[in-house]
Amino acid sequence: MRVLAAMSGGVDSSVAAARAVEAGHDVTGVHLALNRNPGTLREGSRGCCTVEDALDARRVADVLGMPFYVWDFSDRFAEAVVDDFVAEYAAGRTPNPCLRCNERIKFAALLDRAVALGFDAVCTGHYALVRTSADGRRELHRASDEAKDQSYVLGVLTGEQLAHAMFPLGETPSKALVRAEAERRGLRTARKPDSHDICFIPDGDTRGWLADRLGRAPGPVVDEAGEQVGRHDGAVAYTVGQRRGLSLERPAPDGRPRFVLEVRPATNTVVVGPKESLAVGELAGARWSTTGEPLPERFACAVQVRAHADPVPATAAVTHGEVVVRPDEPIAGLAPGQSAVLYDGTRVLGQVTVDRTVAATALA
């Protein structure tokens, strides 16, 4: 097969590309330039897609003896991921930019170009599995190493995209084995630290980054009864479930800590309350997709709402254009804008972007 290996400059994508070459595929490496500032430098282990990452990817490609290119997707990334991130926070939602990047860049823009150029598959360093069912359908499953499993952020993929996806690391039992393999192959990324946080906010200061783009507008922090208990310097920087940095002027009557329950951008208000008020008994959203076959009208599943959260048994239904999910146990701290990925065992069924939630207490 002709395979396009997406190479971030990290150890995972390096070893994935090496395995594709070793399997006998005709592999070409490509690094995606996603930052509009091409001189951006890596800060420790934060972020990715820097000038150093592009150079590391090129050196790995040289070792593997394969062609290598850098494709500039910075405009598409800025519009589809960065601008979306800002707009979601401005609307009081909490987006997942890594999931949006997989959806709109790596398995949309990149895959579309790859197929147009005659490639059969796009290879990445994600920890996930693509399996073929008895009737020939491609299915997305969790990786064998649950600690590194990345099927959650791939939950936006469609069946057509899975038909052209290759994840060579999915069966690898641990990240340590991937690093050891990179060392054995002589790849310079073997000891490179993992990137983390949001790649376009390399210093990790999300609040400051958002304030630069949306401004700082002081406003009230209120309790569930609407009584003001503090002041904030910008509601858009707060997220549901947040406990620290709430700028409260007086403690709760019972002395217990308060958490962000809701962000209301229309009135520039942050609502806080006790931890038990974070428990969500139902979630729903109209923006949903499946990894293949249509979802049944009603079905049992497991729902996962964060990349490394435990899945929770649930019942889901497709009704009036929405996917409505009721977990068997309440989920804490779920915010509109987050993605809920639905599983049947290890298999990913699809995902829904949360538009609204219902408190567990309201369903009791």
DSSP states of 65-95 as a string? T--EEEEE-HHHHIIIIIHHHHHHHHTT---
**Strands, DSSP E only, in the chain?**
2-6, 26-33, 68-72, 121-123, 128-132, 138-142, 165-166, 219-222, 228-232, 259-264, 269-273, 279-285, 287-290, 298-304, 312-319, 322-327, 331-332, 339-344, 347-353, 356-359
Which residue out of 48, 49, 123, 199 is catalytically annotated?
199
The answer to whether residues 348 and 342 touch, using CB atoms and an 8 Å cutoff, is: yes
Q: Which of 49, 101, 123, 301 is catalytic?
A: 101
Q: How far is CA 315 from CA 191, 219, 318, 345, in A?
A: 43, 39, 11, 14
How far is it, in rounded angstroms, from Cα 342 to Cα 175? Answer: 25
Those residues with Cβ within 8 angstroms of residue 355's Cβ, 6 or more apart along the chain or in another chain: 284, 285, 286, 287, 322, 336
Is residue 301 among the annotated active site residues? no
- Residues β-bridged to residue 3: 27, 121
Q: How far is CA 153 from CA 68, 142, 160, 309, in A?
A: 26, 11, 17, 12
Q: Which residues contact 182 (CB under 8 A, 6 or more apart)?
A: 11, 14, 15, 18, 189, 190
Q: How far is CA 45 from CA 42, 55, 70, 194, 312, in A?
A: 7, 16, 22, 6, 31
Any catalytic annotation for residue 48? no
Residues in the chain: 364
Reported as half-sphere exposure (CB side, CA atoms, 13 A), residue 231 has a value of 5
Q: How far, CA to CA in Å, does 55 sit from each of 11, 50, 278, 362?
A: 13, 9, 45, 54
Residues annotated as part of the active site = 101, 199
